[in-house]
Amino acid sequence: MNFVVLSSSHGTTFQAILDRIADGKLTARLLGLVSDREDRGCTEKARRANVPVVVVEQKGEETGEQYDARLDAAVRSLGGVDVIAAIGWMYILTPEFIRKWRGRILNVHPALLPKYGGRGLFGMRVHEAVLNAGEKKSGMTIHLMDEDVDTGPILVQKTCSVFPRDTPEKLRARVQDLEKEWYPKVLEMINRDELQLPFNVPHPL
């Protein structure tokens, strides 16, 4: 299975994917990283690991559809992509992009969806919301993207405890530990056909 990582993050979970490739636990083929800026942590980590990087900066005057058309071209430029693994991608993908890659875009969300998902709930805001609600459990969700935000079919959820004296930073670290463990595992499960994606849809390439 060939995959591309789509990220505009510091690259914590992306580094875990690189580490699992290096130690042989992830045998799916990483074709490259697509990011929105050259100065992201994920791009630095990719270049250090000799992973091809394509940067697609957003232009102030262009629409989401125009940006996603260039994003689509960037993904295609990396070769025969089976799966797009979104990790901390800060833009909401347009319905047209989703339709082109339906059933092939994974995303990780730092909460137990459908709770604490949707527009405006990302990053530290998610952990603040979990703590403000007095939840005893949180975790992460790996799901397929659809045309809405954080509503696609769930593939894997893993939980962690929320402690009385937790801060958003402490909870984020605990959730990120789950993401680092399970995102590479899910990719390898797909690679080994232990987890089925709807690959019966026409391939976009």
Q: Model confidence over 78-99: pLDDT tens digits?
A: 999 999 999 999 899 999 999 9
- The mean pLDDT of 54-60, rounded to a whole number, is 94
Tokens of 129: 């919301």
pTM for this predicted structure: 0.92
Residue 82, φ and ψ in degrees, nearest 5: -95, -40
Q: What is the mean pLDDT of the chain?
A: 94
Domains parsed from the chain with CATH numbers: 2-191 (3.40.50.170)
Q: Which residue out of 10, 109, 143, 203 is catalytically annotated?
A: 109
pLDDT at 170: 97
Residues linked to residue 158 through DSSP beta bridges, in sequence order = 140
For 36-185, where are the E strands, in sequence order? Answer: 53-55, 83-87, 105-109, 137-144, 154-161
Instruction: Give catalytic status of residue 109 as yes or no.
Output: yes
